[in-house]
């Protein structure tokens, strides 16, 4: 089938939606389908499918007519408007809440919520599905199972790892406070963002040994996951899912995540949770887990069956089955 794939953000931009969009587009092509990705992200990337960047409104009708099905990885009104008169099946995968970051529903959000009533909707977690306001099939996110894997079966030199953007929503300050409050004061912080300098100052003032490693990708990131025992995802914002938890888990780095949004679903029975926003509870959970290697290994053993449900080919097959259903 011909799949017109809309992803507002895409490679070479870095982020969760970019990674998932690339995984799915690759798998759709690998399984024999034609894909054109439309995105507002500029740049270059060597890919086995066509990418139209900086797409203009006037380009969309011809692309829509080319397609058998229109798929949005997060709704884009810019990419959807020709569907008002060009009849094509439309599937929208929701990776986040249709609202502002402070929870307000702006006029453009109301327009999106109205528009998706004409689509077949997918939510990446039960948390998203419950708040969407329309029926939605839950298909969780995939991870790159061709890259992220366990290469270290021996001792791990690092204790606590964080991977993500250095912004207030991601809660790195909560992690630093927890490290200061507990018995474990050593962590590696992977990522960059506007709060990096302030977080470095905070770590020094708290007496925490935090190594700010910058952005890491590919094999470098795999190596770091394999060298650490615990991946902490301390987001104060309700994360819709959390692919980073799957990536760490696949490398034997046990995820400890905030108990909110889709994060508990992302880790299932192969990780642990703590009270969102509580540095004290996070400190207690980190100390308890890092002192119990038997428990950590038990959680690692549970990862295999959990990760099987999130392999790229498995998730892509679920989407393709849904596409076939809406084409009937």
Q: What is the CATH number of the domain that holds 136?
A: 3.40.50.2000
Write the CB contacts of 310 (distance below 8 Å, at least 6 apart in sequence).
140, 141, 142, 143, 145, 246
pTM, two decimals, is 0.93
Same domain, 303 and 315: no
Residue 102 binned pLDDT confidence (cut-offs 50, 70, 90):
confident
pLDDT for res 170: 96
Where does the chain show beta strands of DSSP type E? 2-6, 34-39, 50-53, 69-73, 90-94, 120-123, 137-138, 158-163, 186-190, 209-214, 228-233, 254-258, 272-274
Residue the block writes with tokens 């060009």: 86
Alpha-carbon distance 196 to 173, whole Å?
10
pLDDT of 153 > 90? The answer is no
Could you tell me if 78 and 132 lie in one domain?
yes
Q: Using CA atoms, how far apart are residues 316 and 311, in angstroms rounded to an integer? A: 9
Structure confidence at residue 16 as a pLDDT band (50, 70, 90): confident
Q: Please tell me the total count of domains within the chain.
A: 2
Q: How confident is the model at residue 58 (pLDDT cuts 50, 70, 90)?
A: very high
Q: Quote the pLDDT of residue 101.
A: 77
Q: What is the structure's pLDDT at 103?
A: 81
Does the residue 149 lie in any domain?
A: no
Cα–Cα distance for residue pair 208/181, rounded to 1 Å: 10
Each residue's pLDDT tens digit, 171-204: 999 999 999 999 878 999 999 999 999 999 999 9
pLDDT computed for residue 210 by the predictor? 96
Question: In this predicted structure, what is the pLDDT of residue 227?
Answer: 97
pLDDT of residue 45: 86
Is 132 in the same domain as 227? no
Asked if residue 322 and residue 291 are part of one domain, the reply reads no
| 37 lies in the same domain as 131 | yes
- pLDDT tens string 226-236: 999 999 999 99
CA distance linking residue 328 with residue 325, whole number of Å: 6
> Average pLDDT, stretch 218-233?
97
């Amino acid at each position: 089938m011909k799949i017109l794939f809309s992803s507002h953000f895409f490679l070479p931009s870095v982020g969760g939606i970019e990674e998932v969009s690339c995984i799915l587009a690759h798998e759709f092509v690998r399984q024999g389908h034609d894909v054109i990705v439309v995105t507002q992200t500029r740049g270059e990337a060597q890919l086995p499918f066509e990418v139209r960047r900086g797409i203009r409104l006037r380009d969309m009708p011809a692309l829509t007519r080319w397609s058998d099905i229109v798929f949005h990885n997060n709704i884009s009104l810019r990419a959807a408007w020709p569907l008002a008169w060009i009849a094509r099946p439309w599937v929208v995968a929701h990776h986040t809440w249709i609202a502002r970051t402070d929870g307000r529903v702006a006029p453009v959000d109301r327009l999106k919520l109205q528009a998706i009533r004409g689509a077949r909707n997918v939510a990446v977690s039960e948390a998203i599905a419950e708040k969407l306001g329309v029926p939605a099939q839950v298909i969780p996110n995939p991870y790159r199972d061709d890259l992220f894997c366990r290469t270290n079966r021996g001792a791990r030199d690092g204790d606590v790892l964080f991977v993500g953007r250095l912004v207030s929503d991601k809660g790195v300050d909560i992690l630093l406070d927890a490290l200061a409050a507990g018995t474990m004061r050593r962590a590696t912080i992977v990522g960059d963002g506007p709060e990096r300098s302030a977080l470095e100052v905070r770590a020094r003032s708290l007496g925490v040994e935090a190594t700010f490693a910058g952005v890491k990708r590919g094999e470098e990131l795999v190596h770091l996951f394999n060298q650490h025992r615990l991946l902490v995802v301390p987001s104060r914002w309700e994360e819709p899912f959390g692919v980073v938890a799957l990536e760490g888990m696949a490398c034997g780095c046990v995820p400890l995540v905030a108990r909110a949004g889709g994060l508990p679903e992302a880790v299932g029975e192969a990780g642990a949770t703590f009270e969102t926003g509580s540095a004290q509870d996070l400190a207690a959970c980190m100390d308890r887990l890092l002192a119990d290697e038997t428990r950590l290994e038990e959680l690692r053993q549970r990862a295999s069956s959990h990760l099987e449900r999130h392999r790229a080919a498995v998730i892509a097959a679920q989407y393709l089955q849904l596409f076939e259903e809406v084409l009937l």
